[in-house]
Amino acid sequence: MSKKDINVPNIGEFKNVEVIEVLIKKGQKIKKNDPLITIESDKSSVEIPSSDEGTVISLNVKIGDKVSEGDKIIEIESEIELKKTEVVESPKNQLSKEVDKKEIKDNKETGDIIIKDFSTKASASPKVRKFARELGIDINKVPGSERQGRVTESDVKLFIATKSNKGFKNQNTTDQKVEQEYSHSEFGEVEIKDIPRVKKLSSKYLMNSWSKIPHVTNHDEADITELEEFRTSLTDIYTGEKKKITPLAFIVKALTTSLKKFPNFNTSIDQIENGKMTVKKYYHVGIAVDTPHGLMVPKLRNADNKNISLISAELKKISQQCRELKIDKKELFGGSITITSLGGIGGSFFTPIINYPEVAILGVGRAEKKQVFMDGKFVTRTMLPLSLSYDHRIIDGAEAARFNNDLKENLGKNFAYKLAV
């Protein structure tokens, strides 16, 4: 046997480029043209193949290293002399060994592909490898559909979908550290500050919701002309002073009425692997509160049993408790549905993230006067933007549209008067 170095060949304009993947390991047997490493420049990614065959006895590069032409990648022990004395095995024995190395079972009933073990690296283009890496997927675990098991981008997507359906939790997706290619201070003055504690806590819940729930958002507008006229005309029967009740109080009451008509919106499917969902018989509406510490979502309990004045008073109370960080932690959990309103700031439609394990969230924009065609002519009406995000696993588009229609009707000219008692 003889030892031999495998170096970076002439790779054109690639100089001092980063190693983003090491595709072999010490002790592995490689053949000529087997991929050794993947390097990446600003323009593209390239796999560096082996110029010889043998057994890897040392690795001289690691992920993150910079390499150029002539740099040593690995040292191998050539097996040319050994092959002269090798006994040729029967095709049957060779096949048996191959089966031991990689066993793939295709379950035709479920469509699942089960991979028990891989002794070799997956065959894939640099583009596909980069795609899998960005998603936090080990490409060597992805079964390839192309010739000789080559992995395509579609294979990666199928692998993710299959694992997601089984409640697969890939730690790399959320925990993988992405190395920064530069320092912000290179471009000017910066300041390093601690992320507020509330935002640190809420970020993991947001990531969990976004990664687990297939979000769809339905946008619509509610005509609240009469509601606004009525709301601004309310006075205290004892003092005669005008009551300051925000539109949000009316929205809460209207929303709970729609929840009773559409119970799927008041569920949780955190036990989806068991084919079960929790149907809630209570109506606790979460209210997204903007505080100096970050976003907090306290619950307004039993909103269906409260009148507009009481809802308005409780909204002020829990909002103040959040801003002063005096809210009980338990009050941030156990909700039916959440309302997030940007009406006091501005904007119209947006795509709110569902507050897991709830299955829907209502985003409310700023109401504005618009010309609306009614009864054969254009009239000025006050229109409220609504953005309803829902979990598509339990709520379909038609049901979401019907829910929004019912909510609009509840906010319409006949509903406000009934709720203001």
**CB contact at 8 A, 26 and 56:** yes
Do β-strands 285-287 and 54-59 pair in parallel, antiparallel, or remain unpaired? unpaired
- Catalytic-residue membership of 215: no
What are the φ/ψ torsions at residue 78 (nearest 5 degrees)?
-70, 145
CA dist list (Å): 103 to 28, 48, 170, 234: 19, 28, 22, 74
**CB contact at 8 A, 224 and 380:** no
The 3-state DSSP class for residue 42 equals coil
Q: Where are the beta strands (DSSP E) in 92-235?
A: 104-106, 113-115, 215-223
Take residue 351 and report the two structure tokens written for it.
Answer: 């795509």
The per-residue DSSP string of 74-122 comes to: EEEEE-HHHHHHPPPPPHHHHHHHHHHH--EEE-TTT--EEE---SSPP
**CB contact at 8 A, 326 and 298:** no
Cα angle 328-333-334, degrees, rounded to a multiple of 5: 125
* Catalytic residue of the set 215, 219, 293, 392: 392
**CB contact at 8 A, 337 and 255:** yes
What are the φ/ψ torsions at residue 275 (nearest 5 degrees)?
70, 30
CA dist 328 and 78 (Å) reads 69
Tokens 């048996």 belong to which residue?
A: 96
Catalytic residue numbers, as ranges: 392
